[in-house]
Amino acid sequence: MDRERLTEDVKLHEGHSAKVYLDTVGVPTIGYGRNLKAVPLSADEVRAIVGDKQAETPEQLAAQLVLQLFYGIPLPAAELMLEHDLDRAARAARNLFPSFESLDAVRAEALVNMALNLGQGRLAKFVKLRAAIAMKDWPEAKRQALDSRWAIQVGNRATTLADRLERGQDALA
């Protein structure tokens, strides 16, 4: 897996927002698509967001965090959050797809991208997709990725990732 290529691909698909916004289903989101409801900020992410400001109490720290979320988080904080999200998504893909380590880089990246976008729980429900990947039936994997509500919701992203699942390395040529 090419982590740099994956990171740039996710940035392209997710876009960046320094401020909290509600996504298409009303979930508070920030940075490069961080679903704050599903994945709360970690302590080091909070530190990256509030910076060197000294808070004497947890309430003061919370107030500083709320202000930063309202006015906009620093880009390095968003990038740290994305790195953490990619780590989680890669673990999810490895857990859900036993053949993950044997996949070519492009297919592996497509699955991590899907895991990041869907979350492990929703991706686990793609039973037929998982079966197709286990059998290395790439045309069927593409069909199953596109035969979903997710594909309707994310449009071009689903088409791109499904094509990469089908074609692997050839999808980048």
Q: Which of the pair, 56 or 62, is modelled with greater confidence?
A: 62
Q: In terms of C-beta density within 10 A (0-12 exposed, 13-18 middle, 19 or more buried), how is residue 105 classed?
A: middle
User: Which of 116, 111, 146 has the alpha carbon at shortest distance from 35?
Assistant: 116
- Using CA atoms, how far apart are residues 158 and 148, in angstroms rounded to an integer? 9
- Using CA atoms, how far apart are residues 10 and 113, in angstroms rounded to an integer? 7
Q: What percent of the chain has pLDDT over 90?
A: 77
Domain holding 103, by residue range, is 3-172
Residue 2, CA distances (Å) to 30, 42, 84, 128, 171 in order? 24, 25, 16, 26, 15
Chain position carrying tokens 């429900």 = 125
Residue 41, CA distances (Å) to 46, 82, 155 in order? 6, 11, 28
For the chain, the 3-state helix, strand and coil shares in percent, each to the nearest 5, are: 70, 5, 25
Q: How many domains does the chain have?
A: 1
Mean of per-residue pLDDT scores for the chain: 93
- CATH number reported for the structural domain that contains residue 134 in this entry: 1.10.530.40
Q: Which of the pair, 133 or 59, is modelled with greater confidence?
A: 133
pLDDT score of 10 = 96
Chain position carrying tokens 């920030």 = 30
Tokens describing residue 114:
């899907």
Rounded average pLDDT over 56-83? 90
pLDDT score of 147 = 96
CB atoms within 10 A of CB 138: 17
Contact 17, 31 (CB under 8 A): yes
Q: What is the pLDDT of residues 102-161, one digit of tens each?
A: 999 999 999 999 999 998 899 999 999 999 999 999 999 999 999 999 999 999 999 999
pLDDT score of 173 = 64
